[in-house]
A and B are shown apart, each in its own frame.
Chain A
């Protein structure tokens, strides 16, 4: 890995905690590295400014282009043909949007997500946590495949004990298995916000659920969460790194 790549991985939160700590320590006494980092960040900002200036000019040209200008006439045919081509392009676009929204989970990202949730959300250890009968009963129901009953039970527990990490964890898992992704995201999000936990999987689970739900914004939000998990070395950091490395986020 060359220096610029290391810098980019640092800025994007893709270094492991050890690598990150080493990088930051070196930054303090290696002036050449500090200069390279400063250059990288300046270049990104300058590139952004130039890109925005270029886009402004392109957008202004859209407005000033007269409706009957020769530039918008197709060089290869009539306006009627152009209209049909436009319609065809729209159909392709809508089909692509539909495909991406509804496509089966066969890419690497989906495979990794599915593999993890199959491993961790299917058969739950009764010794994982939970000292109350309610939680143990809910876990047993989940392990027996009675997800609707487990979901209902954990939702009742969430109402009475909304700040318990194990309750939020299992409530999220039950909702996930019921394909109630909105609710699962809410439970995992609340779990991720709980302070003072030694090991908190909330952010990672929320990211996985967003990848599974996959509505607009979910991928970008999941990416931010996964980067945070890696940066802070939270539960799921190793798996998060793999997901980020798929280049499909």
Chain B
């Protein structure tokens, strides 16, 4: 089948819903040759380059769907730049053993919008929380609930979640999603 153009892929990702997922996969496949290039250029292993490439592609998905990628650069150039940066990060991680820093749990962007006093309270509460336990409970939440919460975490709107998961409307999907989060909270609080 003919390779999709960048414009088609971008339009599909911005359209959201199931088209977004399909176009994301096709974008990944279209530029996957960068992995071999990364192996040659950065002397990283194939696995390391594949991980760097996945991270770069995921960043592109995010930038496209949130409007951060405005199309001023060619999509391939933009992805290549991100991929190169991820490869450099991977080299640094290898040489300085700082992987724990890269994996740090960060809520900085979300917290910035809070007023100072509230931010300080919420930050203290998060610092005392058991993030690993929350991860575990989210894994165990039940397939439908987990899929819904993950879609929300990935940035899908309630209208898209409703369309993909067969809910009658965005409002119904929202109610169900909030119930799932509530269920997760109950479980998290009772086990603390």
Contacts and interface: CB of A to CB of B under 8 A. Distances in A.
Interface of A: 2, 4-5, 8, 11, 13, 24, 27-28, 34-52, 54-56, 58-60, 62-63, 83, 86-87, 90, 93-94, 96-97, 100-101, 216-217, 220-221, 224, 247-248
Interface in B78-119: 105-107, 110-111, 113, 115, 117-118
Given A43-B185, A217-B67, 15 more contacts: A4-B178, A28-B118, A41-B107, A42-B134, A43-B181, A47-B149, A47-B150, A47-B153, A48-B154, A50-B150, A50-B153, A51-B153, A56-B54, A59-B54, A87-B1
Given A46-B153, A56-B58, A41 B159 contact: no
Interface string B125-169: 110010100110011000000000111111101110000000000
A27 B121 contact: yes
A33 B31 CA distance: 46
Contact of B71 (A83, A86, A87, A217): A217
B44 interface: no
B51 to A, nearest CB: 8
A54 B66 CA distance: 20
Contact of B111 (A41, A51, A94): A41
A54 B150 contact: yes
B7 to A, nearest CB: 9
Nearest to A39: B185
B161 to A, nearest CB: 11
B154 A42 contact: no
B11 to A, nearest CB: 5
B10 A216 contact: yes
Contact of A38 (B28, B71, B129, B184): B129
Given A56-B54, A86-B1, A247-B170, A43 B131 contact: no
A224 B70 CA distance: 15
Contacts of B171: 247
Contacts of A83: 1
A11 B184 CA distance: 19
A96 B152 CA distance: 24
Give me the 6 closest cross-chain CB pairs, A-B, nearest first.
A47-B153, A220-B67, A38-B125, A51-B154, A48-B153, A51-B150
12 contacts: A34-B121, A43-B134, A43-B149, A47-B138, A50-B135, A54-B150, A55-B58, A55-B154, A60-B54, A97-B15, A216-B10, A216-B11
A97 B118 contact: no
B182 interface: yes
A217 B14 CA distance: 8
Nearest to A44: B153
Contacts of A101: 11
Contacts of A48: 153-155
A18 to B, nearest CB: 15
A87 B107 CA distance: 43
